[in-house]
Structure 1
Amino acid sequence: MKLRVHIMLKPGVLDPQGEAVRHALGTLGFDGVNGVRQGKVIELDLAETDEAKAVEAASAMAEKLLVNMVIESYRVEVA
């Protein structure tokens, strides 16, 4: 079963990469971009066929390794 883990910085955490992208967009003529937050997506292909168990496993992986729970949040979706 394929799943995606979407990871973003928590609100209030400084995002220098997002700010650099926002600034670059402005220099390219894309006015009106007030903010950019950059995140990452990790795709998992699990042998598990039960959706609930697969999501539970992906969440455990996220919390133990993939996500810095202090500054990042995540959500899991079935792909």
Structure 2
Amino acid sequence: MDKGDSPSPAICMLQDTSKISIEDDFLNIIPMTTIEALKDMKMETSLVVCGVVKVILDEDDWFYTACICHKKVYPDEKNISPEVTRY
């Protein structure tokens, strides 16, 4: 290399434009389906269920009794754990 020659131009730092926001990933990129279609799914997967809270009961009931599809939901008493007081 001669004295007048300069080394290769500096490598510039590229911005990470491919980075996807958490909001975009959650709301737009993750495949969405209906609750009805979940029954037909053959593969095991993790899903997020989104909903709108219409009413919060002041009683001790923690389960919801209906959804937007207007189908009643009945609690399965044998799957409810007894409440244990913790101190």
TM category (shorter chain) comes to under 0.3
TM-score computed with the length of structure 2 as normaliser: 0.23
- Structure having greater relative contact order (Cα 8 Å, sep ≥ 6): 1
Higher helix share: 1
